[in-house]
Structures are given as structure tokens and as C-alpha cells.
Amino acid sequence: NSMAPSVLARDWFALRGVYRKTCRTLIKKAYRQKALTCHPDKNPDNPKAAELFHQLSQALEVLTDAAAKAAYDKICAAKKQAEERNRKLDDKRKKIKLDLEARERQAEAQSQDEVQITRTLEEEIARLREEGSRQLEEEQRLIREQIQRERELKWKCKKDDETNGGYSQDILLRLLQKYGDVLNVILSSKKKGSAVVEFATVRAAELAVKNECGLSGNPLKISWLEGQPEVIAPVSHLFLLQGSLTNERDYESVVMMRMRQAAERQKLIEQMQREDEEDAGRS
């Protein structure tokens, strides 16, 4: 019998409740049993009963006709193969999807790690720059303190004057201590009439500069050792006085040492400023 493609495409075995290799006799028996339950006369309230009974009749025709059944079996085999291919394709697509999602998660995690690493690096750079700025400020402060501690005292004194113009370490201490604590007084053995004095506080140093005149017969001249700084900070001070070396330290050596220290600090500050500018340019 000639059957339409739509008829052959149906799953008649499932409709009849029989297996694909069931013989014709059992197919007919299954048809009768199923038809009795689906007959429209038995199901007057079921609007789909007539359609189901008609499909059972078509199934009987297909499954009991050798040519129709052979064609139907080919269709079923092709359908099964297509379903298997689709299943494998779905599995492959599912695997690809899972792999893609895994790679995306990995890429996202890596991106987050890179963001965190970059943020950490930026924080470290900012911290180093801040610390560098603090170090720079500290070095500048130390230089200001160094300059502010140093004062020069001068008085008239002939080279062959054994009295050093009337000034000794004890006399200088007595004259200067009334303004505040004096940490040290160094008289020069090579240059008569000069000395270096170090005060404990800025206030004491400023009072001495403004008020101390020294001996009435030989006045003192008190000045900044290396030039007056622009900014005054609260620190201890050194003054230069001009007259015998104390504790076997040479006056000129002390002055040169402090000048070298100031120069070294200035070089360090300039180097740190250049490094800070280079870091700022790179960031």
C-alpha cells in the first residue's frame, strides 16, 4: 500500500504498544486490544477518540504490509541515527559551552588577579613616593637644623696675644649660658679671635645674637656660620666664635666637616627630587 510520508513518520509501534520485531499476528492482536479501548463508541465524551482510532487503523495497515513496514523501518532507523547524531552534537556543544565558560571564568579570575596586582603595585609606588617625600622633607629639615645650629663668634685679637683677646672657653660659656643651655664651645687654635658655639634651642641662639655684646673692652660679633636660612625651625644651634682648640678638635676641621655634611645632604635631596620626578613621569 502507498502511504503518505506523514503517515510513515509516526511512531506506530509506540502507538500500538508493540515492539519493532513483533510478528503480524501479535500486531493484529495488539491492534484489537487497543482499538477496543479507543473506539469512539466506547469514548463518547472524548473528542480525540475518533482521531486516535483512525491512527490505530493506519498503524495496522503500515505494520502488517511488508513494503510499508520496510519503508517505515528505514524511516525509524534514519530518525534514530539523526537523534544519535544530534545527541552527540549536543554533547559536543555542551562540552564546548562548558569549556568556554571555564575559560571565561579563568580569564575573569586572571583579569581580577591582574587588577589586584596592578592596584597593589600602584599602592606600593604611592607608598614609596610618600615615604620618599617624607624622607626628602626630613633631609631638608635636617639641613635647616644643621644650618640653624651653627653660629660664628668673632672678636679682635692679635696673633701674638696669649690671652686670645680676653676670651676663653669658660668666659664664652659664662657669657652665653644666660640665654639658655650651651651644648659646646670650640675655640680655633689656628685663627685667633674665633670660635664655634652650639646652643640647645633656637630661642637661646636668637637671644644671644640679638643681645650679647661680649666683653666691654673687646665686643663679640655673633653671626650665622653658613648664612642665615630662609626658614627658622625649632632646633638646637651652632654659632661660630673666633679663639684655643677644645678637646683637641681643630676649629677649621669642624667647620669643613659640617660644610661637607651639608653639601652631601643637598646632593641627596637633589637626587631624591630627580627620582621622585622620574617616578611621577612614569606613572
Q: What is the CATH number of the domain that holds 148?
A: 3.30.70.330
**Domain end residue (candidates: 47, 64, 81):** 64
Average pLDDT of the chain to the nearest whole number: 74
pLDDT value at residue 191: 81
Contact 14, 76 (CB under 8 A): no
Residue at grid coordinates 466506547? 42
Residue 54 covered by a domain? yes
Do 256 and 148 fall within a single domain?
A: yes
- Please state the separation of Cα 5 from the chain's center in Å: 69
Domains in the chain, number: 2
Residue 225 covered by a domain? yes
**Domain end residue (candidates: 64, 79, 112):** 64
DSSP letter at 164?
G
Q: What is the CATH number of the domain that holds 51?
A: 1.10.287.110
Residue 278 covered by a domain? yes
Q: What is the pLDDT of residues 32-58, one digit of tens each?
A: 777 777 778 777 888 887 887 787 777
Residue 158 covered by a domain? yes
**Domain end residue (candidates: 64, 89, 107):** 64
What is the band of 280 on the pLDDT scale with cuts at 50, 70, 90?
Answer: low
What would the DSSP string read from start to end of 212-271? --EETTEE-EEEESS---SS--S--EEEEEE---GGG--HHHHHHHHHHHHHHHHHHHHH
Instruction: Record the pTM.
Output: 0.37
| Residues ≥6 apart with Cβ < 8 Å to 168 | 187, 243, 244
Do 42 and 166 fall within a single domain?
A: no
Do 168 and 267 fall within a single domain?
A: yes
Higher pLDDT, 159 or 258: 159
Residue 84 covered by a domain? no
Do 276 and 159 fall within a single domain?
A: yes
Do 44 and 173 fall within a single domain?
A: no
| Collapsed DSSP state (helix, strand, coil) of residue 78 | helix
What is the band of 168 on the pLDDT scale with cuts at 50, 70, 90?
Answer: very high
Q: What is the CA radius of gyration of the chain?
A: 55
Do 270 and 151 fall within a single domain?
A: yes
Do 155 and 262 fall within a single domain?
A: yes
Backbone angles phi, psi at 137, to 5 degrees: -60, -40
Residue 132 covered by a domain? no
Do 45 and 178 fall within a single domain?
A: no
Residue 134 covered by a domain? no
| H helices present in the chain, as ranges | 5-8, 12-16, 24-38, 49-64, 66-149, 169-176, 202-211, 251-282
The residue segments making up the domain with residue 245 are: 141-282
Q: What is the pLDDT of residues 88-126, one digit of tens each?
A: 888 888 888 888 888 888 888 888 888 888 888 888 888
Residue 207 covered by a domain? yes
